[in-house]
Structure 1
Amino acid sequence: MGDGYSPRYSADENRMARKKKDDADDLYIEEAEDELDAETEKALARAADTVCRECMQIQRKENILIVTDPHTSTIGQALYEAAARISDRVLLVMMPTTHRHGDEPPAPVADLMRKQDVVLAPTRYSLTHTRARMQACREGTRIATMPGITMQMFIEGGMTTDFNAMQSAIAQLGKSLKRQRKVEVKTESGTDITFEIGGRWELGDNGICNRPGQVTNLPAGKILAMPKEGTMEGTIVIDGTWDAAVVSGPLTIKVEAGMVTKIKGEGSDDVKAMFVEASRKLKPQQQENVWTVAEFGFGMNPRARLVGNVLEDEKVQGTCYFAFGDNTSLGGHSSCGVHVTGVLKQPTVTIGDVDLLNEGDIRI
């Protein structure tokens, strides 16, 4: 392993890190519990209606499950009310907040997810890359996950885009990428990385989720693919967002044969500690999986903004992103239950013979 793999932390440093996380979670809950004014309530209802009618296209008599937690309960309630105006088979479930993206929901929630036509999941941490989500989709449930969504994100920005127009734009660009496999990404901040795509380009994250087994993020708007395992070489410099915060300085990640070998820069100790903690919960033969570069994609949502939350930030038109950890939902072999994303600003991206982005400007 590279020297980025084994950070040491004192007990005081660990306690301080936990306190920061607890304080952030408390602020998040306070936002959910704030009294809403009349205009915000109307905007919340409109956004929930958009999700149910335009994005999910819920039909009368469909079985609907809303999965929420204490951090996102206001949005969960709004989605429940919007869905109940269409179908009389709507269930709202409040589950405990999980610890990180990719943690499995409680078994009763996972079992309920499998038995629905539609699942809407505004939760603090992502259910997208969980076994529960994948099994439910295999059994025909269509699912929209909204990890880390805030009230502001729900009623503004990327959620206000024209989803049908964006679906068409993604489909059109997808035709140009269909047979393109080699990717090169560069940024002025130091990114210089090459890799091949494994499998196909995924075009379904367009906000329209109306067929059995589909899954989308909301706000939506990206094209993505799994890097072919073992092919990625070079350096990634995260200069936009890491997970749930805008970075205060560049985070440099060295990659060899598709695996992270070194992390340095702003906040690197915290990042390494997170991955080490996640690896310790895995079987020895799985522990290296947390260092896999699991996903690459680029934003296609013209209304999305860089807000310090990767749910919206990775959809910003003119950005690209890399995710690390679990890639099994994309057909890979890295199973580890953690999936964390970093966003790059103003990248130059070449995909095969397609000049996609030039310093953040779309070329095609």
Structure 2
Amino acid sequence: MFKGALKIVRECANLRAGENVLIVTDPERYSSALMVAAAARAIGVEPVIASMSPNQLDGQEPHPLVAQLMTSGKVDVLFMMVTRSIGHSRAAIEAVRKGARSLSMTKFEEEQFYRGGLLADFEAQKPQCDAMASKLTQARVARLTSRAGTDITFNLEGRNGNSHSGIVREPGDVTALVHIEANISPVEGVSEGRIVVDGSIPNFDIGVIHQPIELIVEKGNVVSISGGPQAERLRKILARNEGEGIYNIAQLAVGLNPECVAFNGQFSNEHGVYGSCHIGIGTSETIGGSVRADLHFDVMLQAPTLTLDGVDVVKNGEVLV
């Protein structure tokens, strides 16, 4: 575990002596946070740990006092090791705007320090992640299909792709561990089609999908959800929390971590499964969109085909970039 924590602070966060480190956590992730704190101390940095109760849903704001610390302008490196993601919060946006290097580590489990995605060579994978983000930036139209029945189109014109390579080097850099993903926020109100979720939904404790969930998208919003018990759980959770933007198609992403080989229920593993794609729903302003919602969640697809302006960049789960 400690070896993995050292890799996180040295290679991923590029932590340097004299920097201010804030670790935001909660009781469920506190032991993992302590391990990262110990690694920071081992290289001469004394971190501050701020613990709060987990939020109800992914994408909500942290506790106000924690938000004050995050947005103080004095944080060089921000670790968000929480049970419910705060990476899409306005506090996280402001921390980055004020120069923090940000690493989201939602639901990071102790075994992930020594097994799975953290074993990746992040430096070696960065060029591919950067290249995929560049392809997304250059594209005007994306089409995502799958053998399971997904067929949805997105307008990407004027939007910039984001490379979340697992490495942050400069003030304002953002990533998530152990993802390795390239993503983009499509133009709002335009996406149209059908999403068949056959991989995972790491949010809302839904996990690996046992019976495909069908989402119908019209004018950039999910308008219907159908399938088995997991679909019904998703539908009920969203119905209880309805608010502006929660059905917005917020994100298109490609998983690029070769050490994430299959969906297993772990939050960060699911985002990084190599050759998978996922669609984010809800808040988009953290990744280049304009929608602020009370939540953000992701739906993962197995072995999809992603076509940008008529050219395949992922073909049945094979990455072609």
**Normalised-by-shorter TM-score class:** over 0.9
Does residue 1:169 correspond to 2:128, yes or no? yes
Where does residue 253 of structure 2 map in the other structure? 297
- Counterpart CA distance in 2 for 1:178 and 1:98 is 33
Where does residue 94 of structure 1 map in the other structure? 51
Give deviations 1:62-86, integer Å, cap 9, x for gaps: 0111111111111100000111122
Question: Quick check: which one's helix share is greater?
Answer: 1
TM-score by length of 2: 0.93
- Counterpart CA distance in 2 for 1:165 and 1:176 is 19
Give deviations 1:54-105, integer Å, cap 9, x for gaps: 0111111101111111111111000001111223431122211111111211
Where does residue 140 of structure 2 map in the other structure? 181
What amino acid is aligned across from residue 257 of structure 2 in structure 1? Answer: N
- Quickly say closer, same or farther: Cα 1:332–1:354, change in 2 above 3 A: same
Question: Which of these residues, 200, 203, 214, is aligned with residue 241 of structure 1?
Answer: 200
Does residue 1:358 correspond to 2:315, yes or no? yes
Preserved contact between residue 183 and residue 350 of structure 1 (Cα < 8 Å):
yes
After superposition, where does 1:227-238 map in structure 2 within 5 Å? 227-238=186-197
Post-superposition shift, 1:215?
1.5
Preserved contact between residue 187 and residue 347 of structure 1 (Cα < 8 Å):
yes
| RMSD of Structure 2 on Structure 1 (CA) | 1.5
Where does residue 233 of structure 2 map in the other structure? 270
Does residue 1:309 correspond to 2:271, yes or no? no
Question: Which of these residues, 220, 239, 244, is aligned with residue 258 of structure 1?
Answer: 220
Post-superposition shift, 1:175?
4.2
Preserved contact between residue 129 and residue 337 of structure 1 (Cα < 8 Å):
no
Where does residue 5 of structure 1 map in the other structure? none
Deviates further, 205-214 or 147-156:
147-156
- Quickly say closer, same or farther: Cα 1:362–1:76, change in 2 above 3 A: same
Question: Which of these residues, 163, 175, 185, is aligned with residue 216 of structure 1?
Answer: 175
- Counterpart CA distance in 2 for 1:139 and 1:362 is 35
Post-superposition shift, 1:156?
1.2
Post-superposition shift, 1:137?
0.8
- Counterpart CA distance in 2 for 1:263 and 1:97 is 27
Where does residue 13 of structure 2 map in the other structure? 56
- Counterpart CA distance in 2 for 1:203 and 1:328 is 13
- Counterpart CA distance in 2 for 1:88 and 1:170 is 29
Please state whether the residue corresponding to 2:28 is helix, strand or coil. coil
Preserved contact between residue 153 and residue 312 of structure 1 (Cα < 8 Å):
no
Preserved contact between residue 246 and residue 309 of structure 1 (Cα < 8 Å):
no
Post-superposition shift, 1:198?
4.8
- Counterpart CA distance in 2 for 1:173 and 1:334 is 24
- Counterpart CA distance in 1 for 2:214 and 2:65 is 40
Preserved contact between residue 199 and residue 226 of structure 1 (Cα < 8 Å):
no
- Counterpart CA distance in 2 for 1:289 and 1:347 is 26
**Larger of the two Rg values belongs to structure:** 1
- Count of residue correspondences: 314
Post-superposition shift, 1:333?
2.9
What amino acid is aligned across from residue 46 of structure 1 in structure 2? Answer: K
Preserved contact between residue 13 and residue 169 of structure 2 (Cα < 8 Å):
yes
Where does residue 119 of structure 2 map in the other structure? 160
Please state whether the residue corresponding to 1:135 is helix, strand or coil. helix
Structure 1's unaligned 5+ residue stretches are 1-43, 280-286
- Counterpart CA distance in 2 for 1:173 and 1:134 is 23
After superposition, where does 1:8-157 map in structure 2 within 5 Å? 44-114=1-71, 115-157=74-116
- Quickly say closer, same or farther: Cα 1:78–1:216, change in 2 above 3 A: same
Deviates further, 124-133 or 330-339:
330-339
Post-superposition shift, 1:268?
2.0
Structure 2's unaligned 5+ residue stretches are none
